[in-house]
Amino acid sequence: MTHHLVIYPGSFDPITFGHLDIIARGRKLFDELVVAIGRNPGKDQIFTPDERVEMVTRLVDELLEREPDGASVRVESFSGLTVDFARRRGATALLRGVRNTFDLQYEVQQALTNREVAGLETAFIVAGQSFAYTSSSLIKQITAMAEDLDILASMVPPLVIERLAQKKREGSPLLDRLRNNHDPESE
Ligand code: ADP
């Protein structure tokens, strides 16, 4: 019988409850799921690829402990094209989450391209209702502006809040930029 492996690619900067929900539901549809964390040097990121892999691995381990039934999940980072990574891993399909029609418009374009250039299918899972407004970029923006990061508690696990607070304490060029762009006194 064919072993259906699905790759869930993304930046996961940082991972949110929305991502974890897609992983939990994706596990019920395939035999194996690989969370593929992109190393995209062109993209503004708050966490290094190693930090993201470590956080995602810990949270996925907790998920598997809580919900032992379902496909196994591996966490890896990759650079280069997602389709090349997927081909090397022998993936059946890519998995993507869709929150709204804006996501859908972008994702359909990507999916068509990936099928055209690499014959790779994409499976979509619609976001859980309570996570449909959660995005990693919103979380970074709130981190830059908020005094108390506990307001993120409905969007990301406590581990992520801790790590974001650490970045804030240590200083982060990305957080500085996000804060300055929204500071009316700096305009
Ligand atoms: P990328 O930079 O590839 O968009 P992201 O980490 O932002 O990486 O997202 C990875 C995937 O997870 C995308 O398919 C995105 O639509 C999906 N996703 C992000 N946030 C959520 C959420 N809150 N609920 C469901 N899917 C989500």
Mutate which of 7, 16, 17, 19 for ligand 1? The one with the most ligand atoms within 8 Å of its CB, which is: 19
Q: Give the pLDDT means over successive 10-residue stretches in the chain (187 positions).
A: 94 98 97 94 86 98 96 96 96 97 96 97 95 95 96 98 97 92 58
d(CA 134, ligand 1 centre) in Å:
9
Q: What is the pLDDT of residue 156?
A: 98
Query: Domain count of the chain?
Result: 2
Are both 125 and 140 inside the same structural domain? no
Residue 51 lies in a domain: yes
Residue 144 lies in a domain: yes
**What would the two tokens of residue 54 be?**
């470590």
57 vs 54: CA distance, rounded Å: 5
Say yes or no: CB of residue 16 within 6 Å of ligand 1: yes
Q: What is the pLDDT of residue 184?
A: 55
d(CA 78, ligand 1 centre) in Å:
16
Are both 12 and 89 inside the same structural domain? yes
d(CA 145, ligand 1 centre) in Å:
22
Are both 12 and 68 inside the same structural domain? yes
> CA separation (Å) from 174 to 47, 56, 101, 137, 177?
10, 21, 28, 11, 5
**What would the two tokens of residue 125 be?**
């899972």
Q: What is the pLDDT of residue 138?
A: 96
Q: What is the pLDDT of residue 186?
A: 47
Number of CB atoms found within 10 A of residue 146's CB: 13
Residue 63's domain comprises 5-130
Say yes or no: CB of residue 40 within 6 Å of ligand 1: no
Q: What is the pLDDT of residue 35?
A: 98
